[in-house]
Structure 1
Amino acid sequence: MSQTKGVEISRAELKRLLKELEQWSAPATTLLSLYIPPGRPVGDVMELLRKELSVADNVKLKKTREAVKAALTAAMERLKMFDKVPPNGLVIFCGVNPNTEKLECFTFSPPDKVPVFFYRTDKKFHTEFLKDMVEEPEVYGLILVERGRMIVGALKGSRIEVLGEATGFIPGKHHRGGQSQRRFDRLIEQAAEAFYKHAGERASQLLLPYLEQKRLKGVLIGGPAFSKQDFLEAGGLDYRIKQLTIGLYDVADVDEHGLHELVQRAADDIKGQKYAEATKALEEFKRHLARDTGYAVYGEAETLEALNMGMLKTLLISEDHPRLEEITELAKRYGTEVVVIEGVPEAEWFKKTFGIAGIKRFK
């Protein structure tokens, strides 16, 4: 049975833990999730768990019954360690690890206050109440549009998430000539304008929740030729979102790949944003590597040696590096910029090839 780590958990540790716990699954409802908000008496929660332990005796299948009782007993043992709930509340996950088949418990106080009292045994852990605690507070809306197609995404830290899309049929131009040609051209333009208006309404629907949460920092709009301007002029986009438009950018592909290109083209306009900084740092590192300038360093031993000598201007490190927090703290002492590589298109390549690397201040 795993022993509890320190009660307080950082945002980075929580992010890694959630990633692990979301992989857990059980054939029956044996994984225990318990959320205790601050101020809740420990005694009341213990009483609830005792009752649940008694009820578990009625579970027909022996294996399931034993697993549930073991999880409840382990949770109660963890809870006994506390005279009162920590200021941010307490979270306990207990269950049989599907990989090792051993009972494990995770007990911690999260970086933000636990929002709800919640108890359940299920086939999965209920981690949804912790999601917002690891979400990036600032979000950039991404809109790619062309005649007949739109895709909307959100740039959250170093991740791009596809939110939704819209499609519509707009007839192609033909050459009938004369009055018939002009009438048909008008119908085509009316169809295009109707689509752009519908697309604006759909984009607003997808982005307004972030605006209402006061997380939407800006909006990037891209697409081929004049489609971007036509989209803005159609009037379907909510005026509050329109006011947050940072710029219009030429992007050929209206798809998920195009969303990444859109962010890259807007890099100078969203300086300091994690995705933009990660992409920029990777490009600089690759340039030094390809030209063999002597400024690139990679490999854990070599990179940390350069860091400890105060030689690194920028440290690049994968999001799931086992020493991420320790190395980040070390880098701060030397005034080294730390760029966590995640979410960008080349993140997996960097992780497999390097894991950790740096750009020197001097040769």
Structure 2
Amino acid sequence: MYVDRRQLREIIKELKKWSAPATVLLSLYIPPGRPVSDVLNMLRQELSITDNIKLKKTRSAVQRALKAAIERLSKIPKIPDNGLALFCGEDMDTGDFICLMFVPPEKVPVYFYRTDKHFHTEFLEEMVVESNLVGLIIIERDAATLGLLKGSRLEVLEEIEDYIPGKHHRGGQSQRRFDRIIEQMVHDFYKRVGEHAKEKFLPLLEQGKLKAILIGGPAYSKYDFVEGDYLDYRLRQLVLPRLIDVSYQGEVGLREMVMKASDLLKEQEYVDALKAVEEFKLNLAKDDGMIIYGEEDVKRALEMGAIKTLIIDEDRPDAHQWAELAKKYGAKPVFLSDDVPEGAWIKKTFGGLVGILRYRIY
């Protein structure tokens, strides 16, 4: 089974729920190119020595996990191009059992096998970080916000402040000296912001995940920052061509900047979600019959081909199934995270599933 990042996030969440009083939970990562026969031989060897486990309950749980892993792996002729991840284990208190084998969205980086008191998900967790990230910088002479746009999520990385005095009005040499001091303070602050941006963004660029940097701010600060060569040259090459006028710092400012730059960020899920929510709210306020909610009504409207956009709470257990159904009937699925304004309201009021219609159906 191939899984995408959204499905993988749900799998990780499920695996993290499992724990055991003994080392009975099996985690296996197989990179591409590893012969299936080699892995099966290793698992059979592990199974052959389980009779040495003294506690009967522990021995039984480990054997059950190994046998399930062997059975699953025996059914495939070759390790897929991205490798395989396999997790099997028993809840020793309830007897519940889980066994998952899937192809992750990125190549498995290591050959790893372990039975432990928890499932080892650390190699998967690196894969759920979006690979189409946009760095965000709001800059003014004494304040800055660094953020990341990650698919349908907006994250504030850091807020930076400094005290820089206003203009001096005495005139003469005192005025010029004071202006030079202020100019140096602003220069030092911009330099500090550039260093923080390098610390936050450069590792993401080196991992191939950072694709662009969007810069905004009030008045001329943003131009002074970009033209003053304060950003690392590798990051400077990613700066989008238009600088955005922004009135606020913090999360509010980042949202404002992203919305104003929506034409530059056409492929970002967060922008799609913002626009979809705004359209839903507008139609709801107008009471024009161009929205729909309730699972049965939504499903019926999808099957009619009447839904243009389907807004889905990404935390719904059936989110992926609704997205696939939307695509099947020509609707655009838009995932809603908690970072999207009004997202929590749509989840609470409408169950996290609403549609925007192409035409009225009632």
Please, what TM-score do these two structures have when normalized by structure 1?
0.83
CA separation of 1:255/1:25 partners in 2, compared to 1, >3 Å: closer, same or farther? farther
Change (3 A) 1:67 1:99: closer
The answer to whether 1:361 aligns with 2:355 is no
Equivalent residue for 1:351, pick from 347, 352, 360: 347
In structure 2, which of residues 123, 146, 152 is the aligned counterpart of residue 152 of structure 1?
A: 146
Q: SS of the residue aligned with 1:317?
A: strand
Going from structure 1 to structure 2, the CA distance change for 1:119 and 1:292 (only over 3 Å counts) comes to: same
**Is the deviation greater in 213-222 or in 169-178?**
169-178
1:15 paired to 2:27: no
User: Considering only aligned residues, what root-mean-square deviation do their CA atoms show, in Å?
Assistant: 3.2
CA contact (8 A) 1:25 1:98 kept: no
Match of 1:269 among 251, 264, 269: 264
Separation (CA, whole Å) in 1 of partners of 2:179 and 2:56: 73
Residue 141 of structure 1, CA deviation? 1.3
* 1:27-53: CA deviation from partner (whole Å, max 9, x where unpaired): 565432110123323343234335545
Give the one of 100, 106, 113 matched to 1:119. 113
Task: State the distance in 2 between where 1:101 and 1:168 align.
Answer: 58
User: Cα distance 1:160–1:99, how it changes in 2: closer, same or farther (>3 A)?
Assistant: farther
Determine the C-alpha separation between the residues in 1 that align with 2:23 and 2:139. Answer: 45
Which deviates more, 159-168 or 118-127?
A: 159-168
Tell me: CA distance 1:175–1:332, structure 2 relative to 1, closer, same or farther (3 Å): same
SS at match of 1:270: coil
SS at match of 2:155: strand
- Alpha-carbon distance change, 240 to 320 in structure 1, aligned in 2, over 3 angstroms: same
Deviations 1:103-141 (A, max 9, x none): 322122334442321112344432233345444332211
Q: Decide which of 294, 304, 308 is 2:303's aligned counterpart.
A: 308
DSSP-derived class of the 2:264 partner? helix
Identity fraction in percent: 56
Structure 2 gaps, min length 5: none
Aligned length: 357
Structure 1: unaligned runs, 5 residues or longer: 1-6
Measured against aligned partners, the alpha-carbon deviations of 1:213-271 in whole angstroms (never above 9, x if no partner) come to: 44433221123333222322332112343343233223333223432232122223322
Stretch of structure 1 that moved more, 8-17 or 185-194: 8-17
**CA distance in structure 1 between the aligned counterparts of 2:162 and 2:50, rounded to whole angstroms:** 55
- Partner of 1:186, secondary structure, is helix
Whether contact under 8 Å (1:164, 1:206) holds in the other structure is no
Deviates more, 1:292-301 or 1:25-34: 25-34
Match of 1:3 in 2: none
The 5 Å alignment of 1:132-281 reads 133-164=127-158, 166-171=160-165, 178-246=172-240, 247-281=242-276
